[in-house]
Copies of this chain bind each other. A is one copy, B any other.
Amino acid sequence: MAYQSRVSDAVIRRLPVYYRHLVELEHNGVERISSRELGARMNTTASQIRQDINCFGGFGQQGYGYHVASLRQHMASILGIDRVYKAVIVGAGNIGRAVAGYTGFERDGFNIVGIFDTDPKAVGTACGKLTVQPAAELDAFLKKAKVDVGVIAVPLDAAQSVADQLVRGGVRALWNFAPMDIQHPDSVVSTHVHLSDSLHILTYKMNEEALFKQIDERQKMEK
């Protein structure tokens, strides 16, 4: 049976945000922070913060606030970024190369061990410290190297078959950048990066004030 999460999606989505704020606080030399102050930074309440952290067995002393460095470490361990993952990228287009070149992933234990493409023009080219390998060699590579994460950075029509191939090759997780939902067994986890979501939030924000003026006027008319 598939593992059922004990934590809501909303809590899980906040975890990386906690982590980012704690990294920044630690970087700025802040030693302790109250749940109220952390909540204010994150646009939420102190009680939400305490509830979220208590989902994972609790942390901190009542009245003293959280010790920033320890909570940052605790959060890294909850997020599982205090260990090392081997990843391969399938697709050496712009997205694949952007992921390969993104500084910071390596600090989080994300260790890219191979990048693959079907395009003969891409194969053999450099990508950071790696050389793009032919997609035909992916199966053999996965058989030899114990790879944890497969990054799907191929076009829409190839995404599902690449996902299947990665799963057959034994990866435990799929990081999907293709604009479609991929299917996979329950034993594998996945996240889907929807670049358009952030664009839609941006356009929403650009129009929100005008939108509510319209809504208010319509409601006045209807009265």
Contact = CB atoms under 8 A, between A and B. Distances in A.
A194 B57 contact: no
By CB atoms of chain B within 10 A, which of A172, A195, A200 has the most?
A200
A203 B15 contact: no
Interface stretch (A31-39, A114-122, A160-168, A212-220): A212-220
Interface stretch (A60-68, A79-87, A129-137, A138-146): A79-87
Nearest to A195: B102
A16 B196 contact: yes
A89 to B, nearest CB: 12
A3 B189 contact: no
Interface in A77-97: 78-81, 85, 93-95, 97
Q: How many identical chains are in the complex?
A: 2
Contact of A79 (B13, B19, B203): B203
A179 to B, nearest CB: 6
A78 B205 contact: no
A175 B199 contact: yes
Query: Main SS of chain A's interface residues?
Result: helix
What bracket does the count of chain A residues touching chain B fall in? Answer: 35 or more
Interface in A178-208: 179, 189-208
A219 B56 CA distance: 11
A202 B189 contact: yes
Nearest to A87: B199
A98 B92 CA distance: 11
Contacts of A206: 80, 85, 148, 172-173, 189
